[in-house]
């Protein structure tokens, strides 16, 4: 995959992810407006995180990190890729069905494990009820993730990236319809989640068929290939889902502080926008590309792909992090403060957003550096690094909470992310020069930082000038749009002048994006 083609893949995935995340903001704003940050909202957060946590482990975090490189290499080598995928599908479906039945039977204990501070309160019973409704979502969305992996390995990124849009469209429609009919908005929201999983699976099944793949439904078999897949996938379960694990540790700590679970979840949704659009998009495109290059011994191409991925990701991530640190209050106020969401909620969420902003480059760098290991089917060392990172996160979250309060988990998550990046960078050195960023990357990265700092100063001045409008009900959205426009123009102008990037590269990639 040539550099421009590689970048166009990033923009394809990133563009659809951006649409999904924008709709996600609409969804989250509606949820906060209808439910506030009280028991119903906190129960929704815990219930929705349950299947998503297991999905990251069994599908995106573990299965796909092991499955995609193996599937890509079989495609490149002309082997029976369809048969391998069919066996993987059967094995994953069997595990997921068993997991779903077990989770439905033990839901009270699962809720207690994730939010023991809810015990004896209204939100505990609601979390159990909502969790049982939502959990079957994992079956369909995890199988959909495997189908996405097949499409990504074939260089077909659009359908897989577009599927999450369905989730937000259906949840928004369910809440709007329930509110219009005077029904129970919370339960309409919860029941729509498993239905969205079915819809996403159906869309991707059709896309896989149209891409020329043939999946056969068969009984699960523990073949030598499947044993190898399980061997590689097991440590990847932790390595690929370390961010989620750290967030769940934070949720457990936050459950002992009133409304803190909802505040941290809302903040997480905000910083997940650049992380999803940039970091996850880069990881999705980079992993199969590196796997194919390693199969054909294209070391120079692998190094170039890694470096260009790092460039495009950090060129968009560093300014996003600066913006989250400089203007979190206007962002949170305009996006979330309405209906039952109050000014106090805005202030708390904004604090967490600024802290997560400090860790955003680290979250994205993990997505860039982990494929260096996964493409070589090396999941043991990322697993070891993840364990260290989780220990750091747990010690800081639990240790700081009695001292500084509810936002200790946000600080812990950010510090743990940077520890993980340091360990990944050190570990990648054992692969030699091919796993390192090239001279062009090293020359440009500091110029990106400089351009982002120039943007930060411009945002700080513009926010001060627009502050009267940012508090007016009908003008604040326009004021925020103007603030964002100032940031975009300043950053890309400064970046072009300082040589951090060439705008022509972005234009060429956008023209090539399917």
Note the pLDDT tens digit of each residue in 31-81: 888 888 788 888 888 888 888 777 666 555 556 667 777 887 788 776 788
Interval 83-138: pLDDT, tens:
888 988 898 889 889 989 999 999 999 888 878 888 888 889 999 999 999 999 98
Cα–Cα distance between 289 and 2 in angstroms, integer?
A: 10
Residue from 182, 244, 176 nearest 386 by CA: 244
H or E element in which residue 63 lies: helix 63-76
Average pLDDT over residues 335-347: 78
Which range has the worst mean pLDDT, 53-62, 150-159, 185-194? Answer: 53-62
Which range has the worst mean pLDDT, 244-258, 356-370, 406-420? Answer: 244-258
Cα–Cα distance between 133 and 50 in angstroms, integer?
A: 11
Residue from 327, 310, 291 nearest 361 by CA: 310
Average pLDDT over residues 194-207: 93
Average pLDDT over residues 264-274: 81
Residue 501 structure tokens? 């990037």
Cα–Cα distance between 147 and 156 in angstroms, integer?
A: 11
- Per DSSP, the three-state class of 258 is coil
CB count within 10 Å of CB 449 equals 17
Q: Are the C-beta atoms of residues 501 and 315 closer than 8 Å to each other? A: yes
**What's the structural domain count of the chain?**
1
- The percent of the chain in helix, strand and coil, each rounded to the nearest 5, is 85, 0, 15
Q: Are the C-beta atoms of residues 133 and 166 closer than 8 Å to each other? A: no
- pLDDT for the residue 283: 63
Q: Say which residue, 63 or 282, is predicted with more confidence.
A: 282
Interval 3-20: pLDDT, tens:
445 555 666 666 777 788
For 367-391, the three-class secondary structure string (H helix, E strand, C coil) is HHHHHHHHCCCCCHHHHHHHHHHHH
Domain, as residue range, for 196: 3-512
Q: Say which residue, 473 or 509, is predicted with more confidence.
A: 473
How far the first Cα of the chain sits from its last, in Å, is 14
String of b and e for 7-27 (b: at least 16 CB within 10 Å)? Answer: bbbbbbbbbbbbbbbebbebb
Cα–Cα distance between 42 and 35 in angstroms, integer?
A: 9
Cα–Cα distance between 377 and 371 in angstroms, integer?
A: 9
Which range has the worst mean pLDDT, 34-43, 93-102, 231-240, 324-333? Answer: 231-240
Q: Please, what is the average pLDDT of the chain?
A: 83
Q: Are the C-beta atoms of residues 293 and 301 closer than 8 Å to each other? A: yes
| Confidence category of residue 2, pLDDT binned at 50, 70, 90 | very low
Say if residue 82's pLDDT is above 60: yes
Q: Are the C-beta atoms of residues 92 and 142 closer than 8 Å to each other? A: yes
- pLDDT for the residue 241: 59
| % of the chain residues with pLDDT over 90 | 31
Say if residue 152's pLDDT is above 50: yes
Which range has the worst mean pLDDT, 179-188, 239-248, 360-369, 415-424? Answer: 239-248
- pLDDT for the residue 4: 46
Cα–Cα distance between 177 and 191 in angstroms, integer?
A: 13
Residues 6+ apart with CB under 8 A from 230: 91
User: What is the gyration radius of the CA atoms in the chain, in angstroms?
Assistant: 22
| Confidence category of residue 462, pLDDT binned at 50, 70, 90 | very high
pTM above 0.75, yes or no: no
Residue 494 structure tokens? 């400064």
- pLDDT for the residue 64: 64
């Amino acid at each position: 995959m040539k550099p421009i083609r590689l970048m166009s893949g990033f923009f394809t995935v990133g563009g659809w992810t951006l649409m999904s995340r924008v709709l996600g903001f609409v969804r989250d704003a509606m949820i906060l407006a209808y439910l506030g940050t009280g028991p119903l909202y906190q129960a929704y957060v815990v219930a929705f995180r349950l299947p998503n946590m297991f999905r990251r482990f069994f599908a995106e975090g573990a299965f796909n990190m092991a499955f995609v490189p193996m599937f890509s290499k079989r495609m490149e080598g002309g082997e029976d890729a369809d048969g391998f995928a069919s066996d993987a599908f059967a094995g994953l479906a069997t595990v997921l069905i068993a997991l779903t039945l077990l989770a439905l039977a033990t839901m009270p204990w699962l809720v207690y494990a994730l939010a023991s501070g809810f015990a004896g309160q209204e939100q505990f019973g609601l979390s159990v009820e909502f969790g049982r409704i939502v959990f079957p979502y994992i079956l369909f969305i995890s199988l959909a993730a495997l189908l996405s992996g097949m499409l990504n390995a074939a260089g077909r990124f659009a359908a897989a990236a577009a599927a999450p849009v369905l989730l937000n469209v259906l949840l928004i429609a369910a809440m709007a319809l329930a509110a219009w009919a005077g029904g129970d908005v919370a339960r309409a929201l919860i029941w729509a989640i498993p239905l969205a999983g079915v819809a996403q699976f159906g869309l991707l099944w059709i896309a896989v068929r149209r891409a020329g793949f043939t999946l056969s439904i068969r009984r699960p078999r523990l073949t030598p290939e499947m044993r190898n897949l399980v061997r590689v996938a097991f440590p990847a379960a932790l390595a690929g889902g370390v961010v989620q694990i750290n967030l769940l540790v934070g949720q457990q700590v936050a459950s002992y502080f009133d409304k803190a679970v909802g505040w941290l979840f809302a903040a997480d949704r905000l910083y997940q926008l650049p992380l999803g659009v940039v970091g996850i998009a880069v990881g999705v495109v980079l992993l199969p590309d590196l796997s194919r290059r390693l199969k054909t011994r294209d070391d120079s191409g692998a190094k170039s792909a890694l470096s260009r991925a790092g460039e495009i990701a950090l060129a968009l991530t560093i300014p996003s992090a600066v913006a989250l640190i400089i203007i979190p209050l206007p962002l949170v106020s305009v996006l979330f403060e309405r209906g039952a969401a109050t000014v106090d909620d805005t202030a708390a969420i904004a604090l967490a957003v600024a802290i997560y902003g400090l860790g955003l480059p680290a979250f994205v760098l993990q997505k860039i550096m982990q494929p260096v290991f996964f493409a070589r089917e090396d999941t043991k060392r990322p697993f070891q690094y993840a364990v260290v990172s989780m220990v750091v996160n747990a010690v800081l979250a639990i240790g700081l909470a009695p001292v500084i309060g509810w936002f200790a988990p946000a600080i812990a998550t950010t510090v743990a992310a940077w520890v993980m990046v340091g360990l990944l960078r050190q570990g990648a050195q054992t692969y030699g020069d091919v796993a390192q960023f090239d001279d062009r990357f090293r020359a440009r990265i500091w110029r990106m930082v400089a351009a982002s700092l120039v943007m930060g100063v411009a945002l700080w001045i513009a926010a001060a000038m627009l502050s009267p409008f940012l508090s007016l009900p009908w003008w604040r959205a326009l004021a925020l749009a103007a603030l964002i426009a100032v940031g975009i123009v300043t950053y890309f102008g400064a970046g072009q002048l300082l040589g951090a990037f060439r705008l022509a590269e972005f234009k060429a990639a956008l023209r090539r994006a399917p």
